[in-house]
Amino acid sequence: MDFDSQVVPRTGGFGRHNWRLAAITWVPNIVLALSFYSELFFTWVPTHECRPDVELLPAWLHNLTVEALRNVSLPVKEELRRCQLYRYGASIEGTAEELLNNRSLVPCTRGWDYGAVAGLDNNVVTKWNLVCHNSWKVPLEQISYTVGWIAGYLALGFACDRLGRRTTFVVSLVLAVLFGFGVAVSLDPIMFLLLRVFQGMALAGVFLSIYIIRLELCDPPHRLMITMIGGLFAVAGQLLLPALAVLCRDWRILQGVITFLLLLLTLYGCFPIWFPESARWLLSTCQFEKCKKVLQSFAEGNGENLEDELYSQDHLFSGNN
């Protein structure tokens, strides 16, 4: 039996029940967009410069104002003052020219002063000073997070076919929540990086399973429209993220809020009627009884009354699936 031409029309086609379920699958796109694009805020490298160190200055310069102290401690060139400051010779005598000639550049000794962090008061860069000699850790984390998503697509895409769309969605979502809260309490950059990789893998499973089941809810004429609307919800999540960052201010709070929103999505797992298993997958894996129940729920939701013979195993699997 051809599923799209024979089964779908007799369950009411793409009726009101299918529309409701499709609308429910759009909502997670907002939270997934928040999770994916939060990486831009967490690893944003703000403007920064070395914090002046009076121990590197002659004693008679220790009482300068803050601005004057910056002028004598930091190089004029911006690319230099990000990671270096001046150390003056021990002599306290001599002209200004001699003083300037008796100085050398050294790495920052008292940390950095940071500028604005894209709506947040701090992020992982300012928390663990991932600049200068530690700046390589930022692109490493960004690449690792992306690799986590790619690995999740491969591994959990296989799980979608073997375990089912709904099972993969629930398991991936639970893992994403656990790893998400772990990210929020990370103690160092390595812990943050590893947990973000695993969270990225889990989020890829959530996205992929809900994307597939959204497509399999639709008949071919409606798939493009339903997918595009889902994409608009993802765009809405991107637009919401800056406002959420401004409200949270702290990167740990932002991560916690996004993870809490993911936690709310576990309600989908508590109510199968909101997120039923794909009838197409059940049909292809020969789970006849479960497939019949799903088809019945679709027909009832669309106001149709399916004949008993449509539910029979021989009828469902006669011809092409």
162-201: per-residue pLDDT in tens? 898 889 999 999 999 999 999 999 999 999 999 999 999 9
Q: 58: which 2 tokens?
A: 């002659």
Domain spans, the chain: 3-44+134-316, 48-114
Kindly report the pTM of this predicted structure: 0.85
Q: What is the pLDDT of residues 81-116, one digit of tens each?
A: 889 988 887 655 555 566 666 778 889 888 899 988
Q: Residue 30 and residue 27: Cα distance in Å, rounded?
A: 6
Residue linked to tokens 């008679």: 60
What three-state secondary structure class fits 85?
strand
pLDDT value, residue 191: 95
In the predicted model, is pLDDT for residue 146 greater than 60?
yes
49 phi/psi in degrees, rounded to 5? -150, 160
- In this structure, the number of other CB atoms found within 10 A of the CB of residue 60 comes to 10
Q: Give the closest residue to 49 by CA, choosing from 119, 130, 114.
A: 114
CB of 156 closer than 8 Å to CB of 183: no
- For Cα atoms 158, 162, 167, give the angle at the middle one, nearest 5 degrees: 95
Share of the chain above pLDDT 70, in %: 89
Domain 3-44+134-316 has CATH 1.10.1660.10: no
HEC letters along 16-45? HHHHHHHHHHHHHHHHHHHHHHHHHHHCCC
Question: What average pLDDT does the structure give for the chain?
Answer: 85
Integer-rounded Cα Rg, in Å, for the chain is 29
186 phi/psi in degrees, rounded to 5? -55, 140
Confidence of residue 320 (pLDDT cuts 50, 70, 90): very low
Average pLDDT for residues 133-155, to the nearest whole number? 93
Single-letter amino acid, residue 230: G
